Chain A
Amino acid sequence: MSEHEAARAAGGDAAAGDVAAGDRPVVVIVDDHHIFRAGVRAELAESCAVVGEAATPAEAIAVIAKSSPDVVLLDVHLPDGGGIAVLEAFRSEADAPAFLALSVSDAADDVVPMVRAGARGYVTKTIDTPALLDAIRRVRDGEPYFSPRLAAFVLQAFSSPPQPAAADELDQLTPREREVLHHLARGYAYKAIGARLGISPRTVESHVGSVLRKLQLSSRHELSHWAATRGLVDE
């Protein structure tokens, strides 16, 4: 779906990043479906080192602590607390791995709470292998990975005027950030966005990074609402 496009668009960047980084990302896969884990492991075998798998949050926390991977592919729907539980466990850790949330669902109330709890990106399970690899490399390098759909949801969440009482800087996007997000939602890659807005891809990236930060720290009603819905579903 979305990621396909983004991967193609970002193909050049990703290849360059790979050469620069030189090594294979170390990955842990957390999903309660054995067959899915096996499938992803096989797909990633060529370009990643898959050092662990887990089916529950408790297992995941143990495996991650033991193998200290670069990137954790984290399913949203897990027994005993869901992917959120894993994210919560590593929230305050300084050397926590990068989390890439992975789910069959692309509903806002699945996507947004995961990102708010600390996931650096979100992809759906229908993603193809090159796009998944691109996403893994990006989050490993500390970049956020926003699919067009996630960008659209975030845009929507920040679109209503903020409550006057809490008119925090965190509660709204700057016009530039909005513009960047809008382009992401329309399927443009960082490089193309930079070219269209007359800024460098690095600057585009830092805008997305600050959107991610606001997404995680803002107390906007829309965002908390999604989180609350998720919480109800999980417990």
Chain B
Amino acid sequence: MSGAARWRDPAWRATALIGLVLLTALVLALAAEQRSARLLAVGLALAAVPGVVVALVPATVRRLRGPEGRSLLLGIPVALAALLLLAVVGADHRRLLPLTVALLGAGAGLVLIGNELRQRTARAGARAERSPWQQMTAVERVRSLPWQAAVGALLIGWSTLLGLGAVGPYLADTGLTVALLVVVLVGMGGLVLVLVPLLVGAAARGDRDQLLRAREDERLRVAAHLHDSVLQTLALVQRQAGDPAAVARLARSQERALRAWMAGEAELGASTLAGALHATVEEVEQEHAIEVEVTVLGDRPLDEPGRALVAAAREALRNAARHARGSAVVVFAELSEGGAAVYVRDEGDGFELEAVPRERRGVRDAIVGRMAGAGGTASIDSAAGEGTEVALRLGDAIEGSAG
């Protein structure tokens, strides 16, 4: 977030203003000689307290609702106990007021530090969750300084000074100063001991929640996919139970789709050449009620030549379906970034190229012409009684055309 964007954020503006007021109060309290100036400092600090509350209330409510709420709720009895302790130690009103202010200030400082910690963990989590693509393209923010934590630390320091200043003179000769210092130090140590594990635990819980959310998302995704695919197919199978051929075809195509999905191919869908080839094979299988065995090695993005290749493969498949006479059709594809080779073979009757009637040549031209238009090649290998193989090649597969 740039400075300008920050300034537009009202919560940030409020926080900055409160911070400035508190800082002024601190400077005044430290530097002022007269009693009136000190009172002004206390007044300023007091005036800032509602601001602190207002600025932090939304965050506080959110935290109280969230898992971190527990740590905050734990803080309340601690603060109450501390107040009680103060009330017992010095039943003097003149001391109680600054001490309360000091406690509130220290509490606000703790909240600020905790807030900063929480935001930083969340941001780190979000960064880790980004996909490689997002990491590459996202404009990385300028690393922000820990302002909130710094203000929190200042507040705590100021509160400690204020507390000691208010209590110290009264206890100077009673020897209680040391005792009080020990109490304060032990109290703060205890607070640190309680709060640090709580904060760390909250961060860990945040991570775990994120993981659970991710798992739930994954489950929903799987459920949605199964609903759209397997359940639909099962419904179709029930409706067509009287037609064994249709049932077998449905089962086969569903089986293939499920396998591809499990192998992560369907995720890419038709945005890759392998995905588009699988889809095309399935389409022709449905259309002609034939069996096609497909093996695709490698993959590449689906570009314009790739689309032409898929269209040519569809023609070749339809052709094979007409000639296969019930036997299987085999599709073998080798894809890489540099090129693609797709073989469509049937065990049908085959034909002599020269003897092909004119209208069939149209089909052949559709295959050969398409591939030529895309900068590739197509060769048709057929002989009477030997079946037919159409080989489609793009890129560096053209030179490496063995057999």
Contact = CB atoms under 8 A, between A and B. Distances in A.
Contacts of A9: 347
Interface string A93-119: 000000000000011000000000000
Interface in A103-154: 106-107, 126, 148-149, 152
Contact of A192 (B252, B332, B386, B402): B386
B293 A149 contact: yes
B169 to A, nearest CB: 72
Interface residues on A, range: 20 to 34
A157 to B, nearest CB: 10
A113 B389 CA distance: 31
Given A1-B291, A182-B402, A192-B386, A187 B297 contact: no
A147 B330 CA distance: 11
A4 interface: yes
B119 interface: no
Given A187-B345, A196-B403, A152 B327 contact: no
Interface residues of B, number: 22
B328 interface: yes
Interface in B310-330: 327-330
A186 B386 contact: no
Contacts of B387: 192
Contacts of A78: none
Interface in B353-403: 386-387, 389, 402-403
A205 interface: no
B402 A186 contact: no
Nearest to A105: B259
B330 A2 contact: yes
Q: Is the interface of A mostly helix, strand, loop or mixed?
A: helix
A124 to B, nearest CB: 10
B263 interface: yes
A187 B263 contact: no
A192 to B, nearest CB: 7
Nearest to B248: A126
A159 B343 CA distance: 18
A153 to B, nearest CB: 8
A107 B297 contact: no
Contacts of B345: 186-188
Contacts of B403: 179, 182-183, 196-197
Interface string A171-207: 0000100110011011110001000110000000000
Nearest to A155: B297
A187 B402 contact: no
A39 to B, nearest CB: 16
Contacts of A43: none
A197 B345 CA distance: 17
Nearest to A192: B386
Contacts of B259: 106-107
B295 interface: yes
Contacts of B330: 2, 5, 148, 186-187
A143 to B, nearest CB: 20
A5 B332 contact: no
B293 A187 contact: yes
Contacts of A182: 402-403
Residue of A1, A106, A197 most packed against chain B (CB within 10 A): A1
Given A149-B295, A196-B403, A186 B332 contact: yes
A5 B327 contact: yes
Interface in B260-297: 263, 291, 293, 295, 297
Contacts of B252: 126
Given A8-B327, A148-B295, A178 B347 contact: no
A107 B402 contact: no
B402 A179 contact: yes
Nearest to B262: A107
Closest 9 CB pairs of A and B: A187-B330, A5-B328, A152-B295, A186-B343, A4-B328, A186-B332, A187-B345, A2-B293, A185-B332
Given A107-B259, A187-B330, 4 more contacts: A1-B291, A1-B293, A152-B295, A152-B297
5 contacts: A5-B330, A8-B347, A152-B297, A186-B389, A196-B403
Interface of B: 252, 255, 259, 263, 291, 293, 295, 297-298, 327-330, 332, 343, 345, 347, 386-387, 389, 402-403
